[in-house]
Structure 1
Amino acid sequence: MKTHNGNVLVLATGGSIAQTSPSDPTLAGEALLEAIPELRDKFGIVVEQVAQVSSPDITAEHWLTLASRINRAAADEEVQGIVVTHGTDTLEETAFFLNLVVKSEKAVVVVGAMRRPYALGADGAANLHDAVVLASCQEAKGRGVLVVLNSEIHSARDVTKTTFNLDAFKSRDLGPLGQMVNGRPFFYRRSERKHTLCSAFPANLDRLPHVAIVYSYAGVTPDVLTGIAAAGYDGVVWAGTGSGSLPKAIRPAATTLVKNGMAFVRSSRVSSGPIKRNDEVDDDAFGFITADSLNPQKARILLMLALTQTKDPLEIQSLFDSH
């Protein structure tokens, strides 16, 4: 690998940042870099095409492949940092998974674009430029997996897609970690939850348990849970109303799932705020787990990983309280 001011590995997966038609992501990773040739003058950049899919088609197999490649790259002393280009619909999920299984202090930055390359005001080149610069910076090390779009630097744990505009990605409870200003990162806080080297999860997973998300609504009936159980899932995340509330009609089915060995996590369809344990629902009595401030899609990822370690609800709760 060529040594430059800093070698950055760019792993391309497709998504809107690479989309040249309304239906398919067709630009390869190398083509994305052609829009910003000045980066090659500053950094030794190596590009690999890991996948070429729209982000709704990302699977756990893609996550495991990415994690394995990133961990191998991070062990290479010639690699300064790693960038993952990704579609925005599931970008936060991939970033959070990597945040929990990458075993390195080196910067890993996940980036996408809200506007396709052929659209007016396309943001992909600017976002990718920021990502490469950020991945090469000493200041970005040890902060967990980062997400950068629209000149904002976010923690993979906290960030979520909130709209379809350029400022789509927000960390609503805590705000961004920092900003990119004139091509330089400025950090203002750190993520205090366990990640990367300090996380409880191994880097060498070859499969993940099956976890479903069930969305609550007025008049929801127990069959939504009994169907999940019949399908053989290992766990379920309840995207409840308010503070993850559980209607009385649902509680018998939920407790039956737990008694039969399935993990049950209370999360919320509300966009921000932590779930309080034993608030409205006696979680201790029912054997439920609470998601803290994780949204349902991130609670699902943490539960998937937790179930590779234990099925004990109290031990899983401890992992939710610390990651």
Structure 2
Amino acid sequence: MNRKIYISLAILCVLVLSLQAACFARTPDKLPNVKILATGGTIAGSGATNTTTVGYTAAVTPVDALINNVPELKKIANVSGEQISQIASENMTNEVWLKLAKQVNTLLSQDDVDGIVITHGTDTLEETAYFLNLVVKSEKPVVVVGSMRPPTAMSADGMLNLYRATILAGSREAAGKGVLVMLNDTIHAGRDVTKTITDRVDTFRAPEIGPLGFFTGDKPVFYRAPLRKHTVFTEFDISQLTDLPRVDIVYHYANNTGDVIKALTQAGVKGIVHAGTGNGSIGKVEYPAVEAAQEKGVVIVRSARVGNGIVARNGEANDDKYNFVAGDNLNPQKARILLMLALTKTSNPEDIQRMFWEY
């Protein structure tokens, strides 16, 4: 009797394992559905020769051609494309960000979309990734990808980057980790990553913090996950927004006069990110201009031009006295993103400081 039970259990286990294998097999009808949203950039560029890696024309190849240039995509996902914009990313605007984010949220709300890849120029890629990290309302994977060399160049990196970004967007491992950036076989958190080198394929890095993971062959392998709030856990809602509050960055340097702060205040900015020296220092000569800006309701965030490290509250400035917001470890361009979104909710520096600690 016991022998019969053991045989029956063994048969049952084999059936269960066979069923699991069938469920997770990558047959054509079981491939993930990945939408590729194109915004332009080098990955869609063209050079005069196959050795042209600078001085090429960005944003000329449409999304359907990008997809067709990588026929291997059909083996890893059911892909379709949509052209959101066709620009070099130094020309990125709030309007494009809002259009892109709204479309991402619309697509991810659909059951037949498992993940999204966004092709993007590298100049402002980190800013778009962080913006989306704060406003996307889904835990499905969103992967921002670009390239440092146009498709016409020898050893172009765009096709492999797109291929692996599509694998990542269709993977279970990427879900719930916020908006990701994938270039050069390296997976980064959208909050942490920045462009560090002008022209090399290993330009995207997360100084001090490091990447989330890497590709080994065609498999994404994660070693850590983001801890700061993102996507479905943020308080930001852009569904009804048609523009964002104006926020500019002021770069501090020796012999700064404060005139830029005065000019921005007159131009009607709602917030200023001060990229200070060292630990976010503000020069004495700037304080009159800063206080005049605050009297007109301008919120001041202290960031640092250094590129690494935490801007300590009440460190190089009396933030409590002057109602400054300490920018934590966000670089100036990312501090600007968070301040813009914060100003859609409040202009209270204490509330905004809380957001900088959380996001």
TM-score, normalised to structure 1, is 0.98
**Counterpart of 1:195 in structure 2: which amino acid?**
H
**Counterpart of 2:42 in structure 1: which amino acid?**
S
The within-5 A match list for 1:73-222 is 73-163=107-197, 164-204=199-239, 205-222=241-258
2:337, 2:171 → 1: CA distance?
Answer: 28
The equivalent position to 2:268 in structure 1, one of 232, 236, 249, is 232
**Counterpart of 1:171 in structure 2: which amino acid?**
A
Q: How many residues align?
A: 322
2:89, 2:351 → 1: CA distance?
Answer: 32
Q: By how many angstroms is 1:296 displaced?
A: 0.4
Q: By how many angstroms is 1:207 displaced?
A: 1.5
**Counterpart of 1:88 in structure 2: which amino acid?**
T
Q: By how many angstroms is 1:240 displaced?
A: 0.7
Counterpart check, 1:270 vs 2:306: yes
Q: Structure 1 vs Structure 2: percent identity of aligned residues?
A: 49
Instruction: Answer yes or no: is the 8 Å Cα contact 1:12–1:48 preserved in 2.
Output: yes
Q: Which residue of structure 2 lines up, in the alignment, with residue 9 of structure 1? A: 35
The equivalent position to 1:257 in structure 2, one of 293, 307, 314, is 293
SS in 2 for 1:46: strand
2:324, 2:178 → 1: CA distance?
Answer: 28
Q: What RMSD, in angstroms, separates the aligned Cα atoms of the two structures?
A: 1.1
The equivalent position to 1:20 in structure 2, one of 46, 49, 64, is 46
State the Cα deviation string for residues 254-290 of structure 1 (Å, max 9, x = none): 1221222110000011011010000021001001001
SS in 2 for 1:10: strand
Mark the structure with the bigger radius of gyration: 2
**Counterpart of 2:209 in structure 1: which amino acid?**
L
Instruction: Answer yes or no: is the 8 Å Cα contact 1:103–1:203 preserved in 2.
Output: no
1:140, 1:24 → 2: CA distance?
Answer: 29
Q: Which residue of structure 1 lines up, in the alignment, with residue 78 of structure 2? A: 44
2:29, 2:350 → 1: CA distance?
Answer: 48
1:296, 1:100 → 2: CA distance?
Answer: 16
SS in 1 for 2:346: coil
SS in 1 for 2:173: helix
Q: Any gaps of 5 or more consecutive residues in structure 2? A: 1-27, 48-55
**Counterpart of 2:233 in structure 1: which amino acid?**
C
1:313, 1:42 → 2: CA distance?
Answer: 47
Q: Which residue of structure 1 lines up, in the alignment, with residue 349 of structure 2? A: 313
Return 157-166 or 199-208, whichever deviates more: 199-208
1:99, 1:151 → 2: CA distance?
Answer: 20
1:314, 1:44 → 2: CA distance?
Answer: 46
